[in-house]
C-alpha cells in the first residue's frame, strides 16, 4: 500500500510516523516533509501548497490514499482536484474546508445549526469594527476572517488593544487578504479544549480530548503562536460532556453542512471553551491540530489507516478505534524570537538520546538536513512527546527528554499541562 502525506510540520511527521507503523507496512511518501519524516517516509521536493505539482505526482504515482495535513491546500481545493483524477483523499473538499478558510462562513453555519458559540459581528473595515468594540466594551476578541496560520486571533483585554489588533489586520495588512473581513466576537470565560472528530459525510467518531497552549511564554503570557505544547486527555472534558459535545456541537454542524449540499469528509476539529453554561465553539478547523495530533495519535491503540479509509468510504464507526490508557504530553521547542523573527540553520543536538528514553518520540516540525546534521528551519522546531502511565509521569518524562536536546537560542515552556496537574 502506498500513502502520500502532504505537509512538512510536526503534525505531518506524526501522521507519517503513525501510518508507517500500521500493520500493513505501507510505503509512505511525504511532500515536502522534514528531517524527521525522512526517517519514516520518502520525502518529495514538492511544497504543501503546490496543488498542481502534488496532483500531477499523485496522478502519475497513484497512491492508495492521500492524507492532507495543512489547511491551505484543503482550502485551495486539493481534495476536489485529486478526486477528479480518481484518487482517494482524506480531507474535506474546498466547500467543507471553508469551515476554517472563512470564520464568517463558519459562524454562519454554527448560528444556522444552533451550535453554542460566542456572539459576534463581521465587518469589512476598521471603522465599523472599532465602533462595535466601543459599543460592546472589552475584553473582546478580534479575528481576521481568512487563514492566518493560527496567528490571526487577538484576545484584547482593553479597547486600546483591540484598536492595535485592528490596525495590524486592516492597515498594516499583516495577514493580507485574510484580513479583508474582520470578525469581532464576545470574550468567553473558561478553559479551552480541543476535540478532533473524524467524519465520513454523516457518521462522526470523536477522538480523545486534548488541550493546546497557544501563548509563547509560561503562565499563558506573550503573543499567540501556532501552539507551544499539548496534552491528552484533557480532564476539563469530563465524561458527562461527551454526549453534549456530540449532540449539541458536532452533530448539528455536520447536519447543517449536509443540508447545504456539503459532504464533509476528514477531520472536523472543534476548538471549545468550557464555560459555566457548557461547551461553546471558539472555532472549527478542517484538519488535525498541531500540536494536538502529537498527543492524540500516539494514544491510538492499533492501526490508523482503517479509520482514514472508512472516512473516504462512508463506513466510519466507533469500533474502528481503541485507546491506550496512557496520557501523552508534547512540548514544542521553538527558535529564539518565535513567533517573531528568528534565525535558522542552528545545529540540533541530542535527538537520539531523547528518542531513546521510554515512551518518548521526538516529532520534527521546522527541521532540515544539512551536511549530515539536523538543523533548524522554522519557528516551531521540535515536538518532544512522551507517553506515561499518568499525566504527571508523562510530564516528568517529556521534560527529561527535553533536557537531552539543545540548539542555539532554543526556547520552550516549562509549564505544559500545569492546569491539569493543578486540578
- DSSP assignments along 314-344, one per residue: T---GGG--B-S-EEEEEEEE-TTTTS----
> Which residue's C-alpha cell is 496512557?
326
Establish how many alpha carbons lie within 13 A of residue 344's alpha carbon, considering only the half-sphere containing its beta carbon.
9
Cα Rg, the chain, nearest whole Å: 20
Residue 363 phi/psi, 5-degree rounding, is -90, 130
Query: How many CB atoms neighbour CB 1 within 10 A?
Result: 14
Q: Which residues contact 55 (CB under 8 A, 6 or more apart)?
A: 78, 81, 82, 85
Q: Please tell me the predicted confidence (pLDDT) of residue 148.
A: 80
* DSSP structure class, residue 217: E
State yes or no: cis peptide before 75, omega within 30 of 0: no
Return the exposure string of 211-237: e unless at least 16 CB atoms fall within 10 Å of the residue's CB, then b.
bbbbbbeeebeeebbbbbbbbbbbbbb
Cα–chain-centroid distance for residue 149? 10
Give the pairing of strands 89-90 and 65-68. Answer: parallel
* Cβ 386 vs Cβ 398: under 8 Å: yes
d(CA 350, CA 385): 14
| Domain architecture of the chain: domains with CATH | 2-91 (3.40.50.20), 125-180 (3.30.1490.20), 191-320 (3.30.470.20), 327-421 (3.90.600.10)
List 30's β-bridge partners, or say none.
5, 43
The kind and range of the H/E element at 61 are helix 51-61
Q: Please tell me the predicted confidence (pLDDT) of residue 75.
A: 97
Residue 337, C-alpha cell as written in the block: 524570537
d(CA 198, CA 70): 16
d(CA 9, CA 332): 12
Entry pTM: 0.95
List 221's β-bridge partners, or say none.
217
Establish how many alpha carbons lie within 13 A of residue 375's alpha carbon, considering only the half-sphere containing its beta carbon.
11
Return the exposure string of 273-300: e unless at least 16 CB atoms fall within 10 Å of the residue's CB, then b.
bbeeeebbbbbbbbbbbbbbbbbbbbbb
| pLDDT digits (tens), the chain, 423 positions | 999 999 999 999 999 999 999 999 999 999 999 999 999 999 999 999 999 999 999 999 999 999 999 999 999 999 999 999 999 999 999 999 999 999 999 999 999 999 999 999 899 888 899 999 999 999 999 999 888 876 788 899 999 999 999 999 998 998 998 889 999 999 999 999 999 999 999 999 999 999 999 999 999 999 889 899 999 999 999 999 999 999 999 999 999 999 999 999 999 999 999 999 999 999 999 999 999 999 999 999 999 999 999 999 999 999 999 999 999 999 999 999 999 999 999 999 999 999 999 999 999 999 999 999 999 999 999 999 999 999 999 999 999 999 999 999 999 999 999 999 998
Q: Please tell me the predicted confidence (pLDDT) of residue 388.
A: 98
d(CA 61, CA 63): 6
Residue 285, C-alpha cell as written in the block: 478547523
Residue 173 phi/psi, 5-degree rounding, is 55, 45
DSSP per-residue codes, 351-409: HHHHHTSTTEEEEESSEEEETTEEEE-SSEEEEEEEEESSHHHHHHHHHHHHTT-B-TT
* Cβ 168 vs Cβ 148: under 8 Å: no
Q: Please tell me the predicted confidence (pLDDT) of residue 423.
A: 82
Amino acid at each position: 500500500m502506498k500513502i502520500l502525506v502532504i505537509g512538512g510540520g510536526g503534525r505531518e511527521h506524526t501522521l507519517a510516523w503513525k501510518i508507517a507503523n500500521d500493520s500493513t507496512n505501507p510505503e509512505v511518501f511525504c511532500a515536502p516533509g522534514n528531517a524527521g519524516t525522512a526517517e519514516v517516509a520518502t520525502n518529495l521536493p514538492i511544497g504543501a501548497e503546490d496543488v498542481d505539482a502534488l496532483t500531477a505526482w499523485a496522478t502519475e504515482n497513484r497512491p492508495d490514499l492521500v492524507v492532507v495535513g495543512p489547511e491551505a491546500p484543503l482550502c485551495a481545493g486539493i481534495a476536489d482536484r485529486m478526486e477528479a483524477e480518481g484518487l482517494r483523499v482524506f480531507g474535506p473538499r474546498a466547500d467543507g474546508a471553508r469551515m476554517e478558510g472563512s470564520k464568517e462562513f463558519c459562524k454562519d453555519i454554527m448560528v444556522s445549526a444552533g451550535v453554542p458559540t460566542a456572539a459576534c459581528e463581521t465587518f469589512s473595515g476598521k471603522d465599523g469594527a472599532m465602533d462595535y468594540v466601543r459599543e460592546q466594551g472589552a475584553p473582546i476578541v478580534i479575528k481576521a476572517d481568512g487563514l492566518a496560520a493560527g496567528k490571526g486571533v487577538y484576545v484584547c483585554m482593553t479597547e486600546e488593544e483591540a484598536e492595535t489588533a485592528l490596525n495590524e489586520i486592516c492597515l498594516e495588512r499583516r495577514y493580507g487578504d485574510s484580513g479583508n473581513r474582520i470578525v469581532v466576537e464576545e470574550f468567553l470565560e473558561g478553559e479551552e479544549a480541543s476535540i478532533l472528530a473524524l467524519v465520513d459525510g454523516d457518521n462522526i467518531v470523536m477522538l480523545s480530548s486534548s488541550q493546546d497552549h497557544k501563548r509563547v511564554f509560561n503562565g499563558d503570557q506573550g503573543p499567540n503562536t501556532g501552539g507551544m505544547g499539548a496534552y491528552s486527555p484533557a480532564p476539563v472534558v469530563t465524561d458527562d460532556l461527551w454526549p453534549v459535545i456530540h449532540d449539541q456541537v458536532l452533530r448539528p454542524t455536520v447536519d447543517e453542512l449536509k443540508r447545504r449540499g456539503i459532504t464533509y469528509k476528514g477531520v472536523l476539529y472543534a476548538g471549545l471553551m468550557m464555560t459555566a453554561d457548557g461547551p461553546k465553539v471558539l472555532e472549527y478547523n478542517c484538519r488535525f491540530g498541531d500540536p494536538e495530533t502529537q498527543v492524540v495519535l500516539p494514544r491510538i491503540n492499533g492501526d490508523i489507516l482503517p479509520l482514514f479509509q472508512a472516512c473516504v468510504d462512508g463506513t466510519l464507526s466507533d469500533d474502528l478505534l481503541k485507546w491506550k490508557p496512557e496520557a501523552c504530553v508534547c512540548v514544542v521547542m521553538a527558535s529564539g524570537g518565535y513567533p517573531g523573527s528568528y534565525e535558522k540553520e542552528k545545529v540540533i543536538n541530542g535527538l537520539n538520546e531523547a528518542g531513546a528514553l521510554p515512551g518518548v518520540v521526538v516529532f520534527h516540525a521546522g527541521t532540515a538536513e544539512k551536511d549530515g546534521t539536523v538543523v533548524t528551519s522554522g519557528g516551531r522546531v521540535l515536538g518532544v512527546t512522551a507517553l506515561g502511565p499518568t499525566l504527571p509521569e508523562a510530564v516528568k518524562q517529556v521534560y527529561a527528554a527535553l533536557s537531552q536536546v539543545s540548539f542555539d537560542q532554543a526556547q520552550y515552556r516549562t509549564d505544559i499541562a500545569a492546569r491539569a496537574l493543578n486540578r
